[in-house]
Structure formats: C-alpha cells, structure tokens
Amino acid sequence: SMDGNVTWVSPSVTAALGFAESDVVGTHVIDLVHFEDQRLVRELLLQVHGNGRAQNRQIRMKTTGEDFRWMAVQARPLCSDAGQPMGAAWGMRDVTDEVAAQEEVERSEQMFRLAMDGAPLGMAVIGLHLRFLRVNSRLCELVGRDRDWLLAHSAAEIFDPGDGTEPLSESEVLLTGGSSSIERTRCLITGSGEPEWVRHSMSLLRDEHGMPLYFVAQFHDITEELVATHELSEKARRDPLTGLFNRETGIRAIRSALEDRAHPGELVGVMFCDLDGFKAINDSFGHQVGDDVLCAATSLISSSVRPGDVVARLGGDEFVVVLDAVKGRDGGQHVAQKLVSVLDGGYWVNDLVRVPTVSVGLCLAEGTWKAEDLLSAADEALYEAKRAGGGQFSVRELSAPDDGGL
C-alpha cells in the first residue's frame, strides 16, 4: 500500500522466508528487511510511490531465523483505473546463492590482488594476445619500467629474443595443451639495457567450460644466483694459487682443440713447461716465496702466449699451454721461443729471488690423437730440453696416426 504496509503476499515468498502469511500481511515492508538495507528500501519506496518510477534492487530480507535471504526486487507502481497511485507490486527472486558466489569471486580476486601486490616475485596477469593486463611493483622494478609502460606493451617485448629459448613460445605450449604450466630461464630486456636473468613460470587459467581466459606469470630474479653458480664453477676449474685453469680443465682444453680444428692441416700445439731449479728456491726461501715466484711466472707465461691460447697449471712448477690452430711448425716454435725468452731469469720477485728460466716441451699434432698422447709427447720433449741444460725448448711432432705416429 501507499503507506508501505504489505496487503498481499504469494505463497512462494512466505515459503522462501519461512513466515506464515498472517505474519507478513499488515507488516510494514521496512520491518521485513535487514537493518543495513532499510535506508535503501526507503529510497526505493520514495521513487516508486512518490515519483512513480519502477525500481530494481538487491535487498536482504529477514527470515524466521536469524538468517536473511538476498532478493532481487523488481518494484513498480500500481494505479487505479483513474490513474491514482494505489501502492506498489513487488516481485522478488531469491539470489542468495548467486550473491554468495559473486562474493566468493570478489574475495578470491581481492586475495589475489593483495598476494600479487605484496609478492617478492614479479607477477603479471597476461591476456591471450600477450598484452599485460595487471602487473605488480616488483615486476616494474625488475624490468626497470613503470606500470603504465608495461600495460601499454606485450609480454613478448620484455624478453631477449636471443636468450636461447625454444622456438615454440610459452603461450603456444600452454594453449595447445602441451603443458599446464611452464618454467624456463629467460633474460629480460630492462629499461637501462642491462640484462636481468629470471626464472619465468607461466600458467593458463581456463573457465568452467575449459575455455582459456588469461595467463598468470611469475618472474623470479636469479641474476645473483647465476653469478654465484658461475663463480663456483670457475673455482672448480681454477688453480687456487695462480688463478690458472687446473689440470682437468687443461686436458679438456686439449680435447676441445683437437675436436674443433676449423681448417684441415692446422696443428694443435701443447707446451709442457717446467721452471728450472724451482725446488732450490722453495728449499732456500720457503714456500711463501716459492708461491710468489709461481704467481710471477704465471703472469710471464700468460703474457707470452697468443689470445685464445689456454694456460693451465698441472701442479707444482709445471704448466701446460694449449695452442689452438697452429699454422705449421714455425707458428708453434715462435710461441715456445717467446716464452723461453720472457722467462730468461731476469725477473726479480720482492728484490729477493729471480724467477727461474723455463724448459719447454712442445708437441705439434695433426690427425686424430687423444689429449693424453699430446701431453705425453710434450712431456718427452720437455725431458729433452731439461737434459740439454734447460732454458730452452724441444719439439716433438705427431703426424697423422696412419702415417706412422711420432
């Protein structure tokens, strides 16, 4: 009625709310509404009764218990045959389950936003065409771009195309059902131009019908982790005193040189080097001075070889130099002579002791040989140089095995 009292109610309404018809008829509609929605109902009554306008609202209606039900209310004015307002007709549809489901979605979305914004990892929601839909502040920091820049660009634009990833992109793998999620190491192109390595993971979210909606991606900064891993790897390959490659790495370098010769006829050279009289220095001045002499010798040997040649310490005062792509006997002998000339006994360490001369055994090989064959031949040549008085080099050549070997 115009005063807001209920004059008639259908059985479906009383069944939904749990009231008897007599409990509802004659009651003011405000008294049937959850107290938080009563102001909303007063505004609805004003629009329908006062202004003659139909209204749609979602309102919580009381039940016989302490609970309430969400109703989608459609209220329209009722008029007499003469056109005078008589009240309003309310139609109500129970939408409690729909509202609860929507609230659950909103709670989930809010929790996701809070988790995303506070995450220590870079995170993004990415559309099916790879445009950024949402990004967090950590991703902005990683990429060195602000939020507006990222939202105006696609995810493909922040990756280095030459970082070695597979030709089939992450999105295609997920969309074709090849995997439910992927994780790869990727290199970001940052605003400053500095590379930033990340562990990139991405998943595809689908609706209840299995149709793809969007991607969720995470970006975990692993730059420091990769640097630390590289440093550990380098330590495992290096001699701790001189910083040169160790024995195992030196032998691997010989194998690599044998396998990677670019042009037929090029030789692989191995120089086995030994400091003359080093034991006497250790015995006379102690191991600390001996270590200083080894480090000085390391510097002299490294300065004598060609760029790209590998210098390794085998142990004690023994060194090996791997000469890659030597053009003939003269090319190898030139390097050996330069090394002997540099370590001529004229370099002083701490104004106390000279770096001794060096004896060098040079092996030059062609054809198919093992690293151990070259090292053994260089060792024999070194013995010859030592036996001849030291401070000089001797050469052994390994021809193709089918030509008779040594």
Average pLDDT value for the chain: 87
Q: Where are the alpha helices (DSSP H) in 213-266?
A: 223-237, 247-259
Rounded distance between C-alpha atoms, residue 350 and residue 292, angstroms: 9
Q: Name residues whose C-beta falls within 8 Å of residue 176's C-beta, 6 or more positions apart in sequence.
A: none
Compute the average pLDDT of residues 118-136: 87
Residue 166, pLDDT score: 57
Q: What is the gyration radius of the CA atoms in the chain, in angstroms?
A: 42
Quote the tokens at residue 261.
Answer: 């010769």
**Tokens standing for residue 26:** 């004659």
- Give 18 or 227, the one with higher predicted confidence: 18
**Which pairing describes strands 358-365 and 393-398: parallel, antiparallel, or unpaired?**
parallel
In whole angstroms, give the CA distance from residue 310 to residue 307. Answer: 9
Which letter does DSSP use for residue 353 in this model? E
Q: Are 359 and 386 in contact (CB under 8 A)?
A: yes
Are the C-beta atoms of residues 362 and 378 closer than 8 Å to each other?
yes
Residue 48 backbone zone (phi > 0: left; psi -120 to 50: alpha; other: beta): alpha
For the stretch 328-352, pLDDT in tens is: 888 899 999 999 999 998 899 988 8
Stronger pLDDT, 401 or 311, i.e. the higher one: 311
Alpha-carbon span 390 to 396, nearest angstrom:
16
pLDDT digits (tens, 9 = 90+) for 226-274: 777 666 666 778 888 998 999 988 999 998 888 876 566 678 999 999 9
Beta pairing, strands 310-315 & 318-326: antiparallel
- Looking at residue 404, what is its pLDDT? 46
**In the prediction, which pLDDT does 263 show?**
64
